[in-house]
Amino acid sequence: MFNIENFDIKLETGIIGRNFIYSETIDSTNSFLLGNEQKLANGTVILTEYQENGRGRFKRPWESNKGENLTFSILLRKKYLMLNPNHINLAASLAVSSAIENLFQLKTDLKWPNDVLIKNKKVSGILLESSTKGSKLEKIVVGIGINVNQTKYDGEFKIQPTSIKFELRREANRERLLSEILNGFEELLHSLEESPKKVLDEWRENCRMIGERITIDTGTEKKSGVFYDIDANGFMILKSGEEIEKITSGDVFVK
């Protein structure tokens, strides 16, 4: 089971994770924060051992064995609502990537828009959602799933999954990993307030796909070309011949 005391000892944030909710089982951590009518504190984190209806991007199910991984969501309100949600998305994947590398010395790669890979296999996925009141943005919720100690996966996958334990060949400390991610995420949010370009440049440095020939499935069509760069908003710039196109969402595959 997750040891909250061991997690809290290593948490160095001022806002993120200071209000911490632990749940054995829940429908969905994102749904809980999005639907909760209470005025939960900015930076509230909810962690569950098992999601009954976990989901990823494009409403795909996110399956995770009970007690083996990290499945959590972060509530962003107040000053964080001034930030570009796409930037927050990229910062979240960067926080996960950096934490894994720092703690376990495993080389990671970032896959646009928000997956984290080890040896071309998926170790983490992120789902950012928001809610509005009238026309006003009310909250942003960042859902993060990380394969930590699970080593067997059933089903078919567009990208083969892996876990930290599988790559490391030993059990990984979930409490230390979560605190490291939240510490890094808060620092990155502060960097976004000061200079988004700094975070975008750091993300670029950790995305090996930039410069590669790719195929992207936007949901309505497939496009091919070179992943040329990301723009100032974090959208993909796809280059096909002499044509440049901005891609706002989709599944990316290296050709």
Whether residue 223 sits in one domain with residue 199: no
Q: What is the pLDDT of residues 4-47, one digit of tens each?
A: 999 999 999 999 999 999 999 999 999 999 987 778 999 999 99
CA distances, 50 to each of 113, 161, 236, 242 (Å): 25, 18, 33, 48
- Average pLDDT across each block of 10 residues of the chain; the chain has 255 residues. List them in order: 96 98 94 88 97 62 80 97 97 98 98 95 95 90 97 82 96 98 98 97 96 91 95 97 93 83
> Does residue 219 share a domain with residue 199?
no
Q: What is the pLDDT, as a whole number, of residue 156?
A: 76
Are both 200 and 217 inside the same structural domain?
A: no
Model pLDDT, residue 247: 95
Residues 132 and 69 in one domain: yes
What is the rounded distance in angstroms from the CA atom of residue 92 to the CA atom of residue 131?
A: 19
Is residue 151 packed enough to be buried (19+ CB in 10 Å), middle (13-18) or exposed (0-12)?
Answer: middle
- Radius of gyration of the CA atoms of the chain, in A: 18
- pLDDT at res. 63: 66
Model confidence, pTM: 0.94
pLDDT for residue 255: 66
Which CATH number do you get for residue 228? 2.30.30
What CATH code is carried by the domain that includes residue 136? 3.30.930.10
- Alpha carbon distance 145, 148 (integer Å): 9
Number of domains making up the chain: 2
116 and 235 belong to one structural domain: no
- Are 116 and 234 within one domain? no
pLDDT of residue 157: 78
- Residue 220 domain boundaries: 213-254
